[in-house]
Amino acid sequence: MTDKIVIITGATSGIGYATARFFGEKGSTVVLAARSKDRLLKIEDDFRQKGIKVLTVPTDVRKENDCKNLIDKTVDRFGRIDILINNAGISMRAVFGEMLLEVFDTVMQTNFWGTVYCTKFALPYLLKSKGTVTGVSSLAGFQGLPGRTAYSASKFAMHGFLETLRMEYRSKGLRVFIIAPGFTSTNIRKVALTALGKPQMVSPRVEGKMMTAEQVARKIYFGIKNNRRFVVLTPTGKAVFFLRKFSPRLMDRLTLYFMSREPESPFEG
């Protein structure tokens, strides 16, 4: 993995930042994409002081031209792309019937279309390098979560897109890796959108009991290195994955009960 050119979206916090740092410390050259130019510059300075080879490109993955610019800037600087990690994401928490459609659109644009745009423009270079496209998904990508309709829809869509891509380009050496962390201690729940599109600011979960972003970053690194196809993290995540296959009705009831226990939940378990 040394000297690989690795693009990571949503790289200024949480899983994205931890993954960028882990890859950089292992000798990869990391290209960091996020909306905040100021935070990107601070991280770039910190990484350079640590001896990490880095390029930062302000990018809003909801915008097709921004994603094209990200790929163009990477290729202009380094001449190739080895790994694309589609990590940028946003969540939401609201009952579908009470939610503005603009919220649904924002989540889909970020989580799904951001993956599509970046992958589309990176694909020719990934084919040349026989590289890896990665999607950072969620348990919500294979089990619908009440109160997270847009989030689940975006992750289900990501799964379908990447799994089909794997088959289409199997003979050309493209590798596709999907990782589904369980609940991870990041900022995603605090900035999750409410029914009216405002950040909820307070996490409904006990963050200290969750998997850390650093643990997820390590799993992403070794998943790509070992050419894995799909990895589900945490014992809960693995239980959900298998129980959904063999007893989907029970899994639905358990999921609703679990989500109904969140503070101020609109559901009854």
End-to-end CA distance of the chain: 46
**Residue at 198 is within a domain:** yes
How remote is the C-alpha of 90 from its chain's centroid? 9
**Residue at 259 is within a domain:** no
pLDDT tens by residue, 87-101 = 999 999 999 999 999
Cβ–Cβ < 8 Å for 55, 66? no
| pTM assigned to the model | 0.92
User: CA nearest 20: which of 56, 69, 59?
Assistant: 56
Pairing of strands 175-180, 132-136: parallel
**Residue at 191 is within a domain:** yes
Q: What is the DSSP letter of 94?
A: B
**Choice among 151, 169, 221, 257 that is catalytic:** 151
- Domain count of the fold of the chain: 1
CATH number at residue 127: 3.40.50.720
**Residue at 258 is within a domain:** no
- Which positions of the chain have pLDDT values less than 50? none
Report residue 203: phi and psi, to 5°: -75, 135
According to the model, what pLDDT value does residue 192 have? 86
Q: Is 151 a known active-site residue? A: yes
